[in-house]
Structure 1
Amino acid sequence: MSQQGKFIVIEGIEGAGKSSAIAVVENTLRDAHIDYIKTREPGGTPLAESLRSLVKSPDLDETLTPECELLLMYASRSQLLHNVIKPALQDGRWVIGDRHDLSSRAYQGGGREIDDKILESLADITLQGFTPDLTFYLDIDPEIGLQRAANRGELDRIEQEKIEFFYRVRDKYLSFANQDEKIVIIDASQPMTVVHEQIEQRLRQYLRDNG
C-alpha cells in the first residue's frame, strides 16, 4: 500500500505571485521524484469549474449575494475534495492546491465580513476536519498586488472589488497565518528570485522533516 500523499497549498491575494510559486513547488517535488497533481479553487472538477465561472464572471445578469458566493465556494470545494484531492492523497500522490479553505476565511470572512462562525459551520460540513499539510501564504500590500493583476489584463468580478475589501482580506489572512504553524508567511513584495528561494528552502526542509 502506498504512503499517504501530502496536500500543499499556495494562498495570497491577486498579484501575489501564486502561479510562479506553484511552479517552484512543482520543480521541487519533481527533483525529489514525488508524484503530484495540481488543483485550483474554485474549480478542479467539471462541476466545480462551472461554479467557478459563476463566482468569477463580471458579466452575470444578476447580483451575486455574499451568502450565495460563500455557498458556491464551499460547494465547489466539497466536489474537489471528495472527487480529486482525497483519492489522489490516498493513492500516494501529493496535491498542489491553488487556494483552499483559507481563501474563503479571508475573502468571504474578511472581505465580505461574513461571521467566522458561519464559515466554521460550512467547513465542518464539507471538510470534516480535513486541512492542508503545508500552506504558503504570499503576503503583499493590496495596492501592489492589484496593480500587478491589472497589468496582466482584464480583472474578474472579485478582482474588481474596492481596495478596502482587499485590505480586509489581507488582515484575515494574516490573522489565521500567525496562529497556525502549518502556514508559512512569505513576503511577496521581495524580488521574485528571493521569494522563490524561500519557498524552495522551506519546502525542502519540510521534505527532510517528513521523508
Structure 2
Amino acid sequence: MSDAKPRGRFLTLEGIDGAGKSTHLSFIRDWLAHHDVQAVFTREPGGTPLGEKIRELLLSPDTRASLDAETLLAFAARQQHIADVIEPALASGQWLVSDRFTDSTYAFQGGGRGVPFERIRALEEWVQRGLQPDLTLLFDLPLEVAAERMSGSRVLDRFEQEASDFHQRVREAYLKRAEAEPHRFAVLDSSRSIAAIQDDIARHLGKLLETR
C-alpha cells in the first residue's frame, strides 16, 4: 500500500485592483484551519525571494518596461514560484492559496496592455506544463466602487495608477476567462456585504473540500 499523500488543492484569488481580495484572505485561512486543512498562502508576483524582487520591479511606478519584458518578468517570477512553493506544497498534500496567478497576466498584460493572448498562452504552456488551479475565486465589482475603495488608502502602485479604461479592459478580460472556464471560476459580486461574500466563499470551499 502506498503511503503517498493525496495531492493538495490549488486555489487562486483574482480580481481588478480594489476588488477586495485581501479582505477575505484571513477568512479563508480560518475556514481551512477550522476544517483541518493544512494550507500554504502565497502571492504573485512574488512568493519567493526572486519573485519578490521581480514584484518590486513590476509594481514600482518608476519602472519602464516594454510589454514583452513585463510579461516575461511575470512568468519568470511564476516559474520560480511553481518550482519552489506551489508544486512542493501540492505534492505534500497541502492546499496552496495564491493571491493572483496566470489569470492576472491574461487580464492585466493581455486585456489591459494588449499583449496577444497567444504569446501569454505559449508562456503558460512552457512554464506551467499543465498546472492549473482547481478553483479560482474572481472578485468582481464596478470600477467606480473599486476606485472609491482605493482612494486615499495608500500610495498606488504602477498598475493601480493606470486610467479607468485600462482597468475596464482588465475587468472584461477576467469575465471572459470566467465565462470560458465556468468549471474552474466562481465569480463573486464583491460589491455586496462582507458577510454575504464570505458565505459564498465558504460554499465554494466546501465543494472543493468534498473532492479531497
TM-score bin (small chain) = over 0.9
Residue 194 of structure 1 is matched in structure 2 by: 196
* 1:133 equivalenced with 2:138 (yes/no): no
Bigger mean CA offset, 42-51 vs 24-33: 24-33
How many residues are treated as equivalent by the alignment? 208
TM score, norm. by length of structure 1: 0.95
Tell me how far 1:64 sits from its aligned partner: 1.6
User: Which of residues 6, 10, 28 is equivalent to 2:9?
Assistant: 6
**2:22 matched to which residue of 1?**
19
SS of corresponding position for 1:156: coil
- Distance across 2 between alignment mates of 1:13 and 1:86: 26
Residue number in structure 2 paired with 1:72? 73
Q: After the TM superposition, which segments of 4 or more aligned residues of structure 1 sit over 6 Å from their partners?
A: none
What corresponds to 1:206 in structure 2? 208
**Partner residue, 2:187:** 185
Q: Which amino acid aligns with 1:167?
A: Q
Task: Give the counterpart letter for 1:18 in structure 2.
Answer: K
Query: For structure 2, which runs of at least 5 residues remain unmatched after alignment?
Result: none
Structure 2 match to 1:95: 96
> Which residue of 1 is the match for residue 120 of structure 2?
119
Q: CA RMSD in A?
A: 1.0
Q: 1:156 corresponds to which letter in structure 2?
A: D
Secondary structure in structure 1 of the residue aligned to 2:137: strand
TM-score by length of 2: 0.95
Cα shift readout 1:92-140 (whole Å, capped 9, x = no counterpart): 1111100000000100110001111011111011111110011100011
1:132-173: CA deviations, max 9, x gaps?
A: 011100011122112212332110011000000000000000
Give the SS at the match of 1:185: strand
Secondary structure, aligned partner of 2:139: strand
Which of the numbers 30, 33, 48 marks the counterpart of 1:30? Answer: 33
User: AA paired with 1:32?
Assistant: H
Report the AA paired with residue 200 of structure 1: A
